[in-house]
Amino acid sequence: MSAVLQEKSQQMFRWVTFRLADETYGINVMQVQEVLRMTDVAPVPGAPHYVMGIINLRGNVVTVLDTRKLLDLSAGDITESSRIMIIESGKVTVGLLVDSVAEVVNIASSDIDPPPSVGNDEGSRYIQGIYSSEQQILILIDLNKLIAEDHRDMGLF
Residue 42 falls within a domain, yes or no?
Answer: yes
**Model pTM score:** 0.83
What type of residue sits at position 91? Answer: K
The helix/strand/coil state of 74 is coil
How many domains would you assign to the chain? 1
97-110 average pLDDT score: 94
pLDDT category at 140 given cuts 50, 70, 90 is very high
Residue 62 falls within a domain, yes or no?
Answer: yes
pLDDT value at residue 119 = 60
87-92 average pLDDT score: 85
Residue 3 falls within a domain, yes or no?
Answer: no
pLDDT one-digit tens code per residue, 74-84: 988 999 999 99
Which domain range does residue 17 map to?
A: 13-152
CB contact burial 55-92 (16+ within 10 A = b; e otherwise): bebeeeebbbbbbbbbbebeebeeeeebbbbbbebeee
pLDDT at 40 over 60: yes
Residue 119 sits in a domain whose CATH number is 2.40.50.180
Residue 143 falls within a domain, yes or no?
Answer: yes
Question: What is the residue-averaged pLDDT of the chain?
Answer: 85
DSSP 17-30: EEEETTEEEEEEGG
